[in-house]
């Protein structure tokens, strides 16, 4: 069955990238397909007729959302009217769950087929939301296998399509080549540690000084250790430079670079990072890591009572076991971080075994996510079973069940 019209709603730049990949895959399979909704520059280049600028939905923080709520409600009503008048074969919300799931539910109740691309963290907190999701979508398209297993347990139609980052990053990488490209010491000159304290100002505030104190301890103990620290943005670079200025003992030992975090992780022997997407990227770069995270005491108190998961880092969540050490809040002291990193740097055999395991996990996630998502959408439009959830490929079944 030909897919003729697809209504897409992306909420931020990451969704624009995903949407553009999905559009390309659908155009390959259905050359005459039309797109409408909300998209950014990459989706516009692929041919979407966008009804509002992408930034319309890019609102973060409770106060900001409340301030913009009347406008967001008006946009959702307008998109509902627009989609029902256009009569697409399917509406796909790309991330932005607070906005898209409500729109998806309204359109589904009006008779349209709907799907959501990128699962919210319903498996981690407020799991009761899955009932609302079941009423909002005909299928959830997930990046990760444990997400698919969660929806399957709750009888929500699901397709595990793989992760676009796994498609983007190679299964074989070159540690020595990346060191040369970044102008870092050769492997024979000593170990290299990559330090990524986060991309948000609050992460630098809570983690920056702690990470640098741990690094200073490691450098005192290991005269040949080099450190590379990518700065996510110019603002983060300024904050990191200010912190480094207070630690003259690190002069000449820490190389601060702009962006290029993946290259830095590939170059490194081990990685110290804040929890988040960076942990998944380090896994897909096949590097041993230590995850540490701190937050405001009140936020931590609340998170402990709301979050229902044994781990916070994606490598552990995917593996369903503790592959990566996690130090959270008070446990993330400079002394503990330095001790755990020192043990990691000293255990070359352990690092190599973990790197091999990460290659296996990477391969299981490398599924051509855009193509798989387009196949799932095609199946929904045709009224067929979702292919990725019904017939996992070799090696996927254990991951889908969350087992080794």
Of residues 192 and 127, more confidence is placed in: 192
Shared domain for 392 and 321, answered yes or no, is no
Model confidence band, residue 392 (pLDDT cutoffs 50, 70, 90)? very low
Smallest CA-to-CA distance from 290 within 310, 270, 276 is with 270
Whole-number average pLDDT of the chain:
87
Shared domain for 356 and 379, answered yes or no, is no
Tens of pLDDT, residues 47-64: 999 999 887 776 433 334
Q: Write out the residue range of the structural domain in which residue 43 sits.
A: 5-162+367-400
Model confidence band, residue 77 (pLDDT cutoffs 50, 70, 90)? very high
Tens of pLDDT, residues 287-321: 999 999 876 666 655 556 556 667 778 899 888 89
The pTM score is 0.79
**Any domain includes 168:** no
What does the angle CA 259 – CA 232 – CA 357 come to, to the nearest 5 degrees?
75
For residue 354, the Cα-to-chain-centroid distance in whole angstroms is 21
SS3 7: strand
Model confidence band, residue 390 (pLDDT cutoffs 50, 70, 90)? very low
Spatial CB neighbours of 42, under 8 Å, sequence gap ≥ 6: 16, 17, 19, 20
The token duo for 112 is 């349209």
| Mean pLDDT of the 161-183 span | 93
Spatial CB neighbours of 383, under 8 Å, sequence gap ≥ 6: none
Q: Which helix (H) or strand (E) holds 87?
A: none
Shared domain for 311 and 388, answered yes or no, is no
Smallest CA-to-CA distance from 118 within 139, 89, 135 is with 139
Tens of pLDDT, residues 186-206: 888 899 999 998 877 778 888
Shared domain for 371 and 352, answered yes or no, is no
395, pLDDT greater than 50: no
Shared domain for 198 and 293, answered yes or no, is yes
Smallest CA-to-CA distance from 20 within 375, 367, 369 is with 369
| Mean pLDDT of the 55-79 span | 67
Shared domain for 212 and 263, answered yes or no, is yes
Of residues 154 and 300, more confidence is placed in: 154
389, pLDDT greater than 90: no
Percent with pLDDT over 70 in the chain: 87
**Any domain includes 169:** no
Model confidence band, residue 7 (pLDDT cutoffs 50, 70, 90)? very high
């Amino acid at each position: 069955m030909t897919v003729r019209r697809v209504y897409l709603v992306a909420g931020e730049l990451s969704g624009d990238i995903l949407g553009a990949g999905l559009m390309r895959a659908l155009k390959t399979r259905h050359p005459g397909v039309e797109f409408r909704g909300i998209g950014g520059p990459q989706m516009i280049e692929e041919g979407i007729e966008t009804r509002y600028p992408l930034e319309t939905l890019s609102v973060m923080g409770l106060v900001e959302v409340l301030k913009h709520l009347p406008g967001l409600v008006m946009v959702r009503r307008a998109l509902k009217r627009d989609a029902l008048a256009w009569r697409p074969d399917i509406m796909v919300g790309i991330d932005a769950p607070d906005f898209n799931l409500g729109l998806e539910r309204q359109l589904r109740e009006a008779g349209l087929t709907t799907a959501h691309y990128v699962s919210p963290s319903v498996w981690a907190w407020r799991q009761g939301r899955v009932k609302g999701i079941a009423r909002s979508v005909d299928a959830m398209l997930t990046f990760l296998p444990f997400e698919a297993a969660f929806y399957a347990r709750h009888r929500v139609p699901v397709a595990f399509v793989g992760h676009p980052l796994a498609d983007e990053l190679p299964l074989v990488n070159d540690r020595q080549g990346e060191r040369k490209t970044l102008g870092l010491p050769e492997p024979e000159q000593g170990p290299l540690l990559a330090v990524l304290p986060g991309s948000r100002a609050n992460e630098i505030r809570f983690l920056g000084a702690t990470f640098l104190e741990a690094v200073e301890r490691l450098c005192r103990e290991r005269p040949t250790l080099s450190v590379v620290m990518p700065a996510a943005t110019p603002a983060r670079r300024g904050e990191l430079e200010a912190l480094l200025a207070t630690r003259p003992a690190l002069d000449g030992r820490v190389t601060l670079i702009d962006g290029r975090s993946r290259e830095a992780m590939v170059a490194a022997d081990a990685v110290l990072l804040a929890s988040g997407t960076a942990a998944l990227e380090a896994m897909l770069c096949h590097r041993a890591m230590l995850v540490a995270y701190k937050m405001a005491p009140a936020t931590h108190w609340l998170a402990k009572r709301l979050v229902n998961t044994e781990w916070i880092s994606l490598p552990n969540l995917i593996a369903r076991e503790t592959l990566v050490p996690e130090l959270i809040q008070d446990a993330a002291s400079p002394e503990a971080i330095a001790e755990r990193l020192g043990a990691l740097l000293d255990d070359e055999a352990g690092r190599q075994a973990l790197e091999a395991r990460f290659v296996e996990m990477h391969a299981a996630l490398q599924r051509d996510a855009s193509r798989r998502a387009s196949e799932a959408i095609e199946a929904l439009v045709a009224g067929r079973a979702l292919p990725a959830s019904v017939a996992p490929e070799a090696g996927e079944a254990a991951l889908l069940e969350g087992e080794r």
